[in-house]
Amino acid sequence: MLTIYFIGLGILWIVYDRLLLSPLSKIPGPPLASATRLVLMYYEFTRRRRRWIHQLHVKYGPVVRIAPDEVSFANWDAVKEIYVSDGSGYDKTSFYHLFDNYEHECMFSTLDKTPHGERKKRFSDRYSKSFIMQAEVMDGIRERAEGFVARCTEKAGVAADIYIYLHCYALDCITYHLYDPHGIRSLTEAPDLMKVKELLYHDNLQDSYSQYYFPKLFRLLSRVSRRADRSRRLSAQILNTARRSDISNHTVLSKFQSSSEQLETKSIASELLDHAIAGIDTTGDGLCFLLHHLSLPASAGIQEALRAELAESASVPLDELPYLDAVVKEGLRCFSPIPMSLPRRVPKGGRTIAGAYVPEDTIVSCQAYTLHRLDASVFPDPEEFRPERWLKEEGALERNQLFFAFSTGGRGCIGKHLALLEMKMLLREVYSNCRTRVAGEMTASMEQDDQIIASRPIGQKCLILFEKTV
């Protein structure tokens, strides 16, 4: 009885300390979530973290306490402080070790900004806009975009499942950029298509959170149950490819191999695998949501306006087509493929973020889903798909500040320019040659289904009819 009494007293003291004595006690949020992390974990394991956090921001405002040691923010002041200030923003949390490969860090999973910067320098030029816009890179992406259209139109009047084919396109593009001529060709080669399907239909959300919160137990259970690795085929291929010397000069792997300071093979392979999986998950899902929306009856006017710009500007460079750019940005705003929180750790000494003091080691984050919706003065009618909002000069600065599809700052998405090229090239090939509409038999849900940081359609199917216009 005495033991129960002391346990109860200890729990009460913890709750009192977190709710009233903590420096975070002045930050609004649900009292129970401020007292125990179990609340946040519940929403994470039930794949509702993103929506729960967004509703908290709607209720409490741009600064919300979501756990005893974690705060979510949703305004530009916080984005600037967390992700842009002091070079690369605040250091990452151990959450990012979920993205290690072959038991080696990659750039994305490197926690401290200094080693991250050193790693980034090894290959960052391969993702610069000037490099991406070179003919050798663009020609490879164009070839694969043409292959996508050919695949979707090979049977007239028959709907194509673009969920599969867009992920094939995304993986074919990124592996071409990573290690051509040994890149995947899943749009044309059946064995490579199996690699894509292995990646697409595996759900590892609960396993990933279990690994994060209970690493020792997860490792034990993994040895017993021999859990399947979603990237088994791809990871084996990339590890073998990382040892090859017959690689094209334009590739990321070539850049690694030409470096005066050589990394071990598994370290290079970890980087390549991270880029490949990031490429298929982000570009593939982002394009799937966007093409589905453009194929709805309500988007007929948008589709026609896009087609008209493409027809009138056939020889104009992709990055000089304003309506195409607006369609892509609005797609990434509404259906951001990385809509989830990107956690960081507050540096030593604590910081004041968006007017709220936050002590050192507190986990802080912003999520694109909320940044793209919360401030109606920046994004009026945020649930409406309106490419025209990006064509207005008024409010352009504020819109671009809150545009978080690629994160921002020194640790923002290094593949931004490649992803935008892939999206724009695909849309140009599709709508220069076809009209699209959602197939009558399409019943799968296109609601966003949360993964760890990414999001994909719940139904994992998207049937679209392609009608050739030329």
* DSSP state string for 93-140: PGGGGGG-BTTB--TTT--SHHHHHHHHHTTGGGGSHHHHTSHHHHHH
Mean pLDDT by 10 residues, the chain (470 residues): 52 52 91 96 97 98 98 98 82 95 95 92 96 97 98 95 98 98 96 88 88 90 66 89 95 91 92 95 96 98 98 93 98 97 96 96 98 98 98 97 96 96 98 97 96 94 95
The closest of 316, 198, 229, 410 to 324, measured between CA atoms, is: 316
Local structure of residue 242 (DSSP, 8 states): T
413 is in an annotated binding site: yes
Residue 2's pLDDT is what? Answer: 53
CATH superfamily of 82-358+369-468: Cytochrome P450 (1.10.630.10)
Residue 10's pLDDT is what? Answer: 47
Q: Is the sign of the CA dihedral 63, 65, 69, 73 positive or negative?
A: negative
Ranges in the chain annotated CATH 1.10.630.10: 82-358+369-468
Residue 16's pLDDT is what? Answer: 43
Residue 223's pLDDT is what? Answer: 72
Specify the pairing of strand 70-73 against strand 363-366: parallel
Residue 323's pLDDT is what? Answer: 98
Largest Cα separation within the chain, whole Å, is 83
Residue 435: which H helix or E strand, with range?
strand 434-438
CA pair distance 226, 206, nearest whole angstrom: 15
Residue 198's pLDDT is what? Answer: 84
Q: What angle do CA 247, 250, 256 make, to 5 degrees?
A: 65
Residue 15's pLDDT is what? Answer: 52
Residue 12's pLDDT is what? Answer: 47
The closest of 320, 296, 332 to 435, measured between CA atoms, is: 296
Residue 28's pLDDT is what? Answer: 97
Residue 212: which H helix or E strand, with range?
helix 205-213
| Joined tokens for residue 381 | 């009618």
Residue 470's pLDDT is what? Answer: 77
Q: What ranges make up the beta strands (E) of 146-195?
A: 160-161
CA pair distance 176, 184, nearest whole angstrom: 7
Q: State the CB neighbour count (10 A cutoff) for residue 171.
A: 30
Instruction: List alpha helices for 242-395, DSSP H.
Output: 252-257, 265-294, 300-312, 322-334, 368-371
The closest of 11, 53, 81 to 358, measured between CA atoms, is: 81
